[in-house]
Structure 1
Amino acid sequence: MPITFRKSFRILPGVRLNINRRSWSITTGGRNGPRRTTSSTGRRTTSVDLPGPFGWRKTTRTRRR
């Protein structure tokens, strides 16, 4: 079993800083409504939880310079 590390800090209401072994990310938005996550690796995710077992997620990756 691999050892994993993940920690999440609440900076402000609706803003979280997520840290794992290889990168960090900032998530804005709450439980209700859309959330946007921007990662240090260039990945951007927008997600929305819908009623029932439904949800929507769109992920894009930007080129690193």
Structure 2
Amino acid sequence: MAIRFRKSFKVAPGVRVNVSKSGMSTSIGRKGLTTNLSKKGTRVTAGIPGTGLSASKLYPNASNKQAEGTGLGFGGWPIVILIAVTAVAWLVLRS
């Protein structure tokens, strides 16, 4: 059994600092569209809030080319774009 540790602190509207066993990262965004900056690289996640449906892509740092995303590759980008557009539209219509 693996033990995990993660704590998140809100520092400003739409900005969070995340602390875990493996280090720190910063998340910028809100439900539906988030960018996370960490030592592994930049991860962009788009989702439709309340559905559990999301897609994520990791852009590794130059010093960390071994990091991998979710396996979407280039062919998965239409899904990420579709989910991002749907999430933004849902957030705009909800406001």
Q: TM-score range by the shorter chain?
A: 0.7 to 0.9
Contact 1:6–1:20 (Cα < 8 Å) also in 2 = yes
Match of 1:48 in 2: 46
Match of 1:22 in 2: 22
Distance apart, 1:23 and its partner CA: 1.2
User: Does residue 1:8 correspond to 2:3, yes or no?
Assistant: no
More strand by share: 1
For residues 17-42 of structure 1, the C-alpha deviation after alignment (integer angstroms, 9 at most, x for no partner) is: 000012110000011x4210000x23
Contact 1:42–1:63 (Cα < 8 Å) also in 2 = no
Higher gyration radius (CA): 2
CA-atom RMSD in angstroms: 2.0
Runs of 4+ in structure 1 off by over 6 angstroms are none
The letter for the 2-side match of 1:7 is: K
Deviates further, 48-57 or 5-14? 48-57
TM-score under structure 1 normalisation?
0.78
Q: Any unmatched runs of 5+ in structure 1?
A: none
Instruction: Output the CA distance in 1 between the equivalents of 2:40 and 2:3.
Output: 24
Contact 1:7–1:19 (Cα < 8 Å) also in 2 = yes
Task: Give percent identity, aligned residues only.
Answer: 29
How many residues were matched structurally? 63
Q: Any unmatched runs of 5+ in structure 2?
A: 65-95
More helix by share: 2
Cα 1:53/1:21, change in 2 over 3 Å:
closer
